[in-house]
Amino acid sequence: MMDYARTRLGLKRKDRAAAKMEMKVDLLDGSTERRDVDADEVLGPIIVPCYYGAGALTNKPFTDETAPCDYHIIIVAPAHKKAMEQSARAGVELYADSKRFAQMLAKIALGIAVAQFGVRGFEPTVQIFILNNPNEYGHWVGGFAGTPEAAVPTPHLHRIQLQTKQVSAGTFIIVEIQLFAKYGGPTNYVVVGRPL
């Protein structure tokens, strides 16, 4: 989901960073091949899920159906000229698991809420989702897919905002998370708990 971009931005641990990464290249003669190129020369894209509204905020019941989401593809670093030599086009394969990504967002949000309110300062709602029920992601994780709020411009790499919000379903602690914000990453949120 993010390996290529994290490598190009220098965000991978040196002991885990691959020296070479695979890139798919369309050659000038019309054929296609896969090449292992230096990691600092490969295209640096990210694919990030952008969710629709979380069910918890609208009193929707839990469901095992896959919640819909959009995907934002962001290029944080172009392929170097050396990697593009003798090719018409170059790219990489991206894969995104919207459930797993939602669990990661929930872990971040839970950490932010604990830092703000303390371990016993609120009633968490996402623990079971994080630990063993990824199918609940459409209930606890939402976003602004299809709206102008999906990508708020910012000069920061990431943006996180905690707020308490009153909705028809009650009062919730919500953490907005915009990863790779300065590159136009989408804003998602987690319904992390209820205030005491």
110-169 pLDDT tens trace: 999 999 999 999 999 999 999 998 889 999 999 999 887 778 778 999 999 999 999 988
Helix (H, G, I), strand (E, B) or coil at 56: helix
Using the predicted structure, report yes or no on whether residue 83 has a pLDDT greater than 70: no
Question: DSSP label at 150?
Answer: G
Q: Please give the helix or strand (H or E) that residue 132 lies within, else none.
A: helix 127-132
- Predicted local confidence at residue 18, as pLDDT: 67
Give pTM, 2 decimals: 0.87
- Predicted local confidence at residue 125, as pLDDT: 94
The whole-angstrom distance between residue 131's C-alpha and the CA centroid of its chain comes to 18
**Two structure tokens written together for 192:** 């992390």
Query: With the CA atoms of 31, 37, 40 and 42 taken in that order, what torsion angle do they form, in degrees rounded to the nearest 10?
Result: 20
31-76 pLDDT tens trace: 999 988 887 788 888 899 999 999 999 888 777 677 789 999 998 8
* CA distance to 63, 172, 191, 195, per residue, from 58 (Å): 14, 12, 11, 18
Helix (H, G, I), strand (E, B) or coil at 124: strand
| b (16+ CB within 10 A) / e for 109-140 | bbebbbeebeeeebebbbeebbeebeebbbbb
Using the predicted structure, report yes or no on whether residue 9 has a pLDDT greater than 90: no
- Predicted local confidence at residue 141, as pLDDT: 96
Using the predicted structure, report yes or no on whether residue 1 has a pLDDT greater than 70: no
- Which residues, 6 or more positions from 97, have their beta carbon under 8 angstroms from its beta carbon? 1
